[in-house]
Amino acid sequence: MEPAMFDELLERVGPRNQKKDTCWRKALQPGIKLAITIRHLASGEKYHNLMYNFRVAKNTIACLIPEVRQAICEKFKDEVIKSLDEWFLIADQFKNRWNVPDSCGALDGKHVAIRCPPNSDSLYHNYKHFFSLVLLALEDADYKFLWIDCGGLGSMSDAQILNESELKQCLEDRSIGFPAPDPLPHDNEPIPYFILGDDAFGLRKYLMKPYSQRGLTREDLIKNY
């Protein structure tokens, strides 16, 4: 993280994490709290290791990380897509950068390794042969998150998690606010705006995926590319 970005984040969430000094001890500064939290979120480093890196007790770290995370959520939760102009901007980015018109995001899942929870059998065991939780994310053309779903079981596929998410409902009832269908370049047939997914997802009017990898023509290969 660039120092300027850290300073901006600290300026916005720091006051929410500032506590008063007591007669027993001085309160930790918001900057060290934010640094510990970012290090943990970026690397998954254990509290025990963070304790030695930052010289802060691990029981204190266990309390401050949820507080800082909550402060970040509260401060940034209202900075979401609110107008059609922003969907148009995202679609233009996909068209200009990736040559995919009418796309309003790319969807994929990421397995985050965990220890096997007690008495969970194979619920968290994934096809890659380790235990995990799944982060399903919709991103724009610059790899920035537009929507995320955290906590899917490792044994679940990306499609299963999408089917149980609020995102699917919003896509199906069009309450997500996608623009009205537009013709593709050099065509006059209106095409709905959509998101992109890999072969794990089912083909829908609101979700485009590659052709299967068998018996593809040259045109199909170009489209997949």
Is the model's pLDDT at 61 over the cut of 90? Answer: yes
Contact by Cβ (8 Å): 96, 69: no
Could you tell me the residue ranges of all domains in the chain? 3-76, 84-224
Secondary structure E strands in 16-169: 103-113, 132-139, 145-153
**Residues in Cβ contact with 225 at an 8 Å cutoff, skipping those fewer than 6 apart:** none
- β-partners of residue 106 are 139, 196
- What is the Cα–Cα distance from 153 to 148, expressed in whole angstroms? 15
Confidence of residue 84 (pLDDT cuts 50, 70, 90): low
Is the model's pLDDT at 147 over the cut of 80? Answer: yes
- Could you give the count of Cα atoms lying within 13 Å of 114 in the half-sphere of its Cβ? 21
- What is the Cα–Cα distance from 14 to 32, expressed in whole angstroms? 10
Percent of the chain clearing pLDDT 70 (strictly above): 98
CA distance to 118, 196, 224, per residue, from 218 (Å): 50, 21, 10
Q: What is the mean pLDDT of residues 142-155?
A: 90
Confidence of residue 82 (pLDDT cuts 50, 70, 90): low
- Six token digits for residue 4: 């300027």
Contact by Cβ (8 Å): 113, 132: yes
Task: Compute the CA torsion angle 93, 96, 97, 99 (nearest 10 deg).
Answer: 110
Q: What is the mean pLDDT of residues 14-26?
A: 83
| Local structure of 165: helix, strand or coil | coil
- What is the Cα–Cα distance from 13 to 73, expressed in whole angstroms? 9
Q: What is the mean pLDDT of residues 9-31?
A: 86
- What is the Cα–Cα distance from 39 to 97, expressed in whole angstroms? 31
Question: pLDDT digit string (tens) for 182-211?
Answer: 888 888 899 999 999 998 898 998 999 998
Is the model's pLDDT at 85 over the cut of 90? Answer: no
Q: What is the mean pLDDT of residues 55-74?
A: 91
Give the per-residue pLDDT at 120. Answer: 87
Give the per-residue pLDDT at 80. Answer: 64
